[in-house]
Amino acid sequence: MTLLDAGVVHVRIADDGPGCSAARLQEIQAALDQLRNIENHGIGLNSVHIRLVNSYGNAYGVRRVVGTRGFRVDLHLPRLTGTGDQSA
Taking only the tens place, the pLDDT of each residue in 15-70 is 888 888 888 888 888 878 777 666 665 567 778 888 888 999 988 888 877 877 88
Look at residue 85 and tell me if it is in a domain. no
DSSP codes joined into one string, 42-82: -SSHHHHHHHHHHHH-TTSEEEEEE-SSSEEEEEEEEPB-T
Residue 86 has pLDDT above 60, yes or no: no
Asked if residue 27 belongs to a domain, the reply is yes
Supply the pTM of this predicted model: 0.67
The domain total for the chain is 1
18 domain residue, yes or no: yes
Domain of residue 12: give its range: 2-78
Backbone φ and ψ of 58, nearest 5°:
-65, -15
